[in-house]
A and B are shown apart, each in its own frame.
Chain A
Amino acid sequence: MSTMGIRNRPRSERRRQSTVCQPLLTFVGGTLAVMAVMATMATPAFAQTGVDPADVPDLTGVWDGGFRARPVNGPNMPWVPGENFPVLNERGLAHQSVFDEAVAPKYDCVPSASPALQYDPYMMEVTQWPDRVLVRYEKDDQVRTFWLDGRETPSNDFTVQGFSSGRYEEGALLVETTKFTFDVAGFDDYNGIPSSQQKKVTERYWREGEELRMTLTVEDPMFLREPVSYTTRWLPGPEGYKLQAYNCDPFEAGHPRKFLVPKYR
């Protein structure tokens, strides 16, 4: 895996920036436009300021979160009864009691989200840019962006993957994600535990030799009495591996529903 210096802008981004600027030149023309473009080009990347390159871990590459890296997810994993299983408040318990497996959004190809997405046993690819970290998940073809430029959290832009801010600190990448949409099984779809717009997910990624490790913490006062955490790892993906398209098939996603005994008639 290559180490990408935080100040070295990737070639692909420089190309993209030039492409964006080209129509502007054509449209405006003249010296003012050229000066404006030069000013834009001269603007430094909105990278995290004051970070010591030694504090930037090399996370770039394809990572294997499959069966050889960790126990497979399920009703007792990664939330283990008696260990880190969440304590639900009364609202959470009420939601859980009426949860019907058949209506879980995943059976309609709604993508997995934090904190489940990270533990799904698939590959992911991490790319570190000066102003962001991109994580592509093979599961559900999802992409998350961890912004490093200090931009403000949007007030009302709730999305499946939420809004993520990141920073490097002491050799680790810290990420905070909020602005999730409500999800009837958004905390744990194996146990029918919902998550709300108040869900906050904190991740800390670091290298441990060849491994990528992460501790993830979830807070959601709407449903959880207290924050809960799990720690997991990824192993380096196979040499040259390219993430496959997931292309969730809506029919096949919902196919198993017919095998459920209906909870409600």
Chain B
Amino acid sequence: MKTLLSISGLVLVGAVLATSVGAHHASGPFYDPEKSVEAVGTVTKFVFRNPHSFVYVDAVNADGSTTAWEVEMGASVSMSRRGWTPETIKAGDQIKVVGQPSRAPGTFGICCAELTKPDGSPLRP
């Protein structure tokens, strides 16, 4: 498993419009929409709550170290209407996450992410 932290390949996502995370808060102050990170790893925990759900992913980097990513998702009350449950993602699942990295130095948050299986196939409820 690899973490492809594309710091070297910052992705310009066009006009920078702040988006919201599950409509609870704007993503802009927390995450950088002009960058993109990709993490492929093992789910350690899925917290299905309000106002935000989080999936925790351990990804092994190229140098052998591990980064513990915290991927912010929407409110469980909204996700459940789309079929999500606390069991949709389980500890031990392999997952690929592509999204915006958190702004605070030394943190490993991801937001506004696309979640797939490592082969890129959709991860759906």
Which of A's residues lie within 8 Å of B, judged by CB? 66, 72-76, 101, 104, 106-107, 109, 120-122, 138-139, 189-190, 244, 246-249, 252-253, 255-256, 258-262
Contact B50 A247 (CB under 8 A): yes
Give Cα A264 to B72, complex, Å: 24
Q: From the candidates A73, A106, A261, name the one contacting B51 in the complex (CB within 8 A).
A: A106
Question: Are A259 and B30 CB-contacts (below 8 A) given A120-B23, A244-B80?
Answer: yes
Residues in B with CB closer than 8 Å to A249 are 49-51
The residue of chain A having its C-beta at the shortest distance from the C-beta of B77 within the complex is A244
Asked if B90 lies at the interface with its beta carbon under 8 angstroms from chain A, I say no
With beta carbons under 8 angstroms apart, the residue of B25, B28, B47, B77 that contacts A106 is: B25
- B contact residues around A101 at 8 Å (CB): 25, 29
Residue of A76, A101, A255 with highest tally of chain B CB at under 10 A:
A255
Q: 3 tightest A-B contacts by CB?
A: A259-B102, A259-B30, A259-B109
Asked, given contacts A256-B72, A259-B31, whether A246 binds B50 with beta carbons under 8 Å apart, the answer is: yes
Name the interface size band of chain B.
Answer: 20 to 34
Query: B26 in the interface, Cβ–Cβ < 8 Å?
Result: yes
Output the least CB separation between B44 and chain A (Å).
15
Given A244-B77, A259-B102, A261-B103, are A252 and B26 also a contact pair (CB < 8 Å)?
Answer: no
Specify which of A76, A121, A189 lies most central, judged by the most chain B CB atoms within 10 Å of its CB: A121
- Expressed in whole angstroms, the Cα–Cα distance for A121 and B23 within the complex equals 7
Contact of A122 among B29, B49, B52, B78 (CB under 8 A): B78
Chain B residues close to A by CB (< 8 Å): 17-21, 23-26, 28-31, 47, 49-54, 70, 72, 75, 77-78, 80-81, 102-105, 107, 109, 111
How near does chain A come to B103, taking the closest CB pair, in angstroms?
5
Q: Smallest CB-CB separation from A243: which chain B residue?
A: B77
CB <8 Å contact, B26 and A75: yes
The residues of A that contact B78 with a CB separation of less than 8 Å are 66, 121-122
Complex Cα distance, B24 from A121, in Å, reads 9
Contacts of B18 in A (CB 8 A): 74-76
- Whole-angstrom distance between the Cβ of A6 and the nearest chain B Cβ: 32
Q: Which residues of B contact A246 (CB under 8 A)?
A: 50-51, 75, 77
Residues of A within 8 A of B25 (CB): 101, 104, 106-107, 189-190, 256
Residues of A within 8 A of B47 (CB): 252
How far is A156 from B104 in the complex, measured between Cα atoms in Å? Answer: 42
- A72 — nearest CB in chain B belongs to which residue? B23
- Given A244-B80, A253-B52, A262-B104, 10 other A-B contacts at CB below 8 A? A72-B20, A76-B18, A121-B78, A190-B25, A190-B26, A246-B75, A252-B51, A252-B54, A260-B29, A261-B103
* B residues in contact with A104, CB < 8 Å: 25
